[in-house]
């Protein structure tokens, strides 16, 4: 029997597009997470991959999160709840800590894991209407389990995170933009192309410098100033020894666009 892949992977000139194929709900099944873990580990090590875009088939939903029926039915075969959650936290940690920018598209239902994955990304773009974004786990008698409570708090602040999580409140794209949960909103029909436009822009930046910025900025709020400044100095030194910096300076002098190679 030909079983379709839960994850479609396409490389568009250094932009790796990872698409959940479980439309219309785009659940984050065990098979999806297995495929996603393999994909992001390989992407992190592949110098040809510059940017990652996380999206889903169709225009109905980005993702309703974990397949709860599958968890109840098959969770024990995966080593139990802790093993399931360990994998999901591990995958999101790889995405967040990767020295390459990641972008998520939020539209339709973005609930539970369907928000926790975007929260691990560096950029989030949302539809300007029709999105339902939230961590409604309290409605099920539980709490966010893939790092959502911590990442949402760091993203929008304690008070807004408590308002969303304790009330199981779902917000739309404009409100997500207003509170800083997403960087921009777009008409639904244009959302995925907007994400690709941003990804292509980022893919043209010098990879070594991009990695340095991510190392400096991601998690900076939780570091001491001295530690953050040390990270910045290490990034500066790494760039100074790269051909990309020499190319950037030469291109500036010659008044031409630079061509960065990641060397």
Active site residues: 116, 137
Rounded to an integer, what distance in angstroms lies between the CA atom of residue 184 and that of residue 130? 15
Please say whether the beta carbons of 99 and 210 come within 8 A. yes
Instruction: Give dist(CA 10, CA 101) in Å, integer.
Output: 16
CA distance 258 to 246: 10
Q: Are 55 and 105 in contact (CB under 8 A)?
A: yes
Residue 255 neighbours by CB under 8 Å, 6+ apart: none
Of 134, 135, 126, 136, whose CA–CA distance to 173 is shortest?
126
Is residue 39 within a helix (H) or strand (E), and if so which, with residue range? helix 30-45
């Amino acid at each position: 029997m030909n079983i379709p892949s839960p994850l479609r992977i396409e490389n568009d000139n250094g932009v790796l597009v990872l698409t959940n194929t479980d439309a219309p709900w785009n659940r984050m099944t065990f098979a999806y997470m297995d495929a996603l873990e393999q994909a992001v580990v390989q992407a992190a090590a592949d110098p040809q991959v510059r940017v990652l875009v996380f999206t889903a088939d169709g225009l109905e939903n980005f993702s309703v999160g974990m397949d709860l029926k599958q968890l109840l039915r098959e969770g024990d075969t995966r080593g139990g709840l802790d093993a399931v959650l360990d994998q999901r936290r591990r995958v999101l940690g790889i995405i967040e800590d990767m020295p390459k920018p990641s972008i998520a598209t939020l539209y339709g239902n973005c609930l539970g894991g369907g928000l926790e994955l975007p929260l691990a990304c560096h950029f989030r773009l949302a539809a300007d209407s029709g999105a339902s974004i939230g961590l409604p786990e309290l409605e099920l008698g539980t709490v966010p389990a893939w790092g959502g409570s911590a990442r949402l708090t760091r993203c929008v602040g304690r008070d807004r995170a408590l308002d969303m999580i304790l009330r199981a409140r779902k917000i739309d794209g404009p409100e997500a933009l207003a509170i800083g949960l997403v960087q921009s909103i777009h008409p639904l029909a244009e959302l995925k192309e907007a994400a690709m436009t941003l990804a292509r822009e980022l893919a043209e930046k010098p990879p070594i410098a991009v990695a340095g910025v991510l190392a400096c900025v991601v998690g900076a709020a939780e570091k001491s100033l001295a530690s953050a400044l040390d990270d910045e100095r290490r990034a500066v030194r790494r760039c100074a020894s790269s051909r990309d910096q020499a190319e950037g300076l030469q291109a500036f002098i010659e008044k031409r666009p630079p061509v960065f190679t990641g060397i």
